[in-house]
Amino acid sequence: MAERPVWKGQLRLSLVSIPVEMYSATNSRARISFRQIHKPSGKPIQLQKVVPGVGPVKAEDIWKGYKVDDDYVLIDPDEIDAIKLETKKTLELVQFVDISEIPPIYFDKPYFLAPTDDLAEDAFRVVRDALRQSGKAGLGQLSMRGQEYLVAVRPCGNGLLLETLHYEDEIRKTDPFFSSISKKAAEKDLLSVAKELIDRKTAPFDASNFEDRYAEAIRNLVEEKAKGHKPKHTKDEPAPRGGGNVIDLMSALKKSLEGQGKGKAAAKKPAAKKAAAAPRKKSA
């Protein structure tokens, strides 16, 4: 079955408009998911939309409600759909920045942008290569799923990567969380050893070097239970004792260095994953 785009419209750069389609760049089906099951019957539990004192309600009777003080302002869903924004169909790149200028905390979710057809490809490649050679990301806004998103667009392989960004008022201030942390610089000797440890563990980023061990353990559990076997439980490793002074910290850092050996660490790939016998089920 062909992948369905989550948004279709025009990518605009000044007077140039390019028909594009947007697809999710992440695979949610790769995550472990469960259904809630009624144990006595073994049947899936269905969640119903109910009103206290009324019971289950029909879909056509469900409106949008915006809370004001202790009451709700009711809005017909059709009134929201009737709001006309140019960004529903057009993503205009209105500003360009170095991608490193955008703090990581602003990035939300990635999507792939691709030209709609062969006729759009020539102009699409021009925008892609111009962004790549300039080292810039384009900023703009688009509307989908009842929201208008701030987005950044940059090259990705033969296409473009669009990442939704948080707005300024969505980012929490750091003061409530970091204000009690001293601004005093770390001890020079400790800092030197820590930097050497980081240097020895430094290697090129390769996401295939990591696997979701929790998901693998769940699949093994499902496989064993499906075969009628009693699952094997592993014991938790004891947590390391925390040192209360600089001498303990220095000792721990030096022991870490000894375990790393000399020179920069090469990234090690994990052993090949075993295929799970139990099929994955989509959550409802």
For the ranges 40-44, 105-109, 148-152, which has the lowest average pLDDT? 40-44
The CATH number of 7-30+83-170 is which of 2.40.290.10, 1.20.210.10, 3.10.20.30, 3.40.50.460? 2.40.290.10
Q: What is the mean pLDDT of residues 253-258?
A: 80
Q: Would you state the pLDDT for residue 244?
A: 52
Helix (H, G, I), strand (E, B) or coil at 251: helix
34's CB contacts (< 8 A; 6+ apart) are 283
> What are the residue ranges spanned by the domains of the chain?
7-30+83-170, 208-233+246-278
Q: Would you state the pLDDT for residue 141?
A: 96
Q: Is residue 131 over pLDDT 80?
A: yes
Within a 10 A sphere around the Cβ of 90, how many other Cβ atoms? 16
Question: What is the full DSSP assignment across 104-132?
Answer: GGGEEEEEEEEESSHHHHHHHHHHHHHHH
Separation of alpha carbons 24 and 133, rounded Å: 25
Burial degree of 20 (CB within 10 A; 0-12, 13-18, 19+): buried
CA atoms within 13 A on the CB side of 14: 3
For the ranges 22-31, 46-55, 89-98, 131-140, which has the lowest average pLDDT? 22-31
Residue with tokens 């353990």: 217
pLDDT in tens, 179-220: 899 989 988 988 898 898 889 888 998 988 888 888 888 888
Q: Which two tokens stand for residue 133?
A: 């050679």
Is the dihedral angle over the CA atoms 189, 193, 194, 196 positive or is it negative?
positive
Terminal Cα distance for the chain, rounded: 20
Local structure of residue 154 (DSSP, 8 states): E
Residues 215/6/167/183 CA torsion (nearest 10 deg): 20
Q: Is residue 134 over pLDDT 70?
A: yes
Q: Would you state the pLDDT for residue 84?
A: 75
Q: Is residue 270 over pLDDT 70?
A: no
Q: Is residue 147 over pLDDT 60?
A: yes
Separation of alpha carbons 14 and 109, rounded Å: 26
pLDDT band at 234 (very low <50, low <70, confident <90, very high): low
Residue with tokens 């093994």: 220
Q: Would you state the pLDDT for residue 212?
A: 80
Q: Would you state the pLDDT for residue 242?
A: 52
Q: What is the mean pLDDT of residues 153-172?
A: 96
Separation of alpha carbons 142 and 101, rounded Å: 21
Q: Would you state the pLDDT for residue 246?
A: 56
Q: What is the mean pLDDT of residues 164-169?
A: 96
Q: Would you state the pLDDT for residue 248?
A: 84
pLDDT band at 243 (very low <50, low <70, confident <90, very high): very low
Residue with tokens 């559990």: 221
Q: What is the mean pLDDT of residues 246-270?
A: 67
Mean pLDDT, all residues of the chain: 84
pLDDT band at 232 (very low <50, low <70, confident <90, very high): low
Q: Is residue 238 over pLDDT 80?
A: no
Separation of alpha carbons 100 and 33, rounded Å: 35
Residues 251/254/255/257 CA torsion (nearest 10 deg): 160
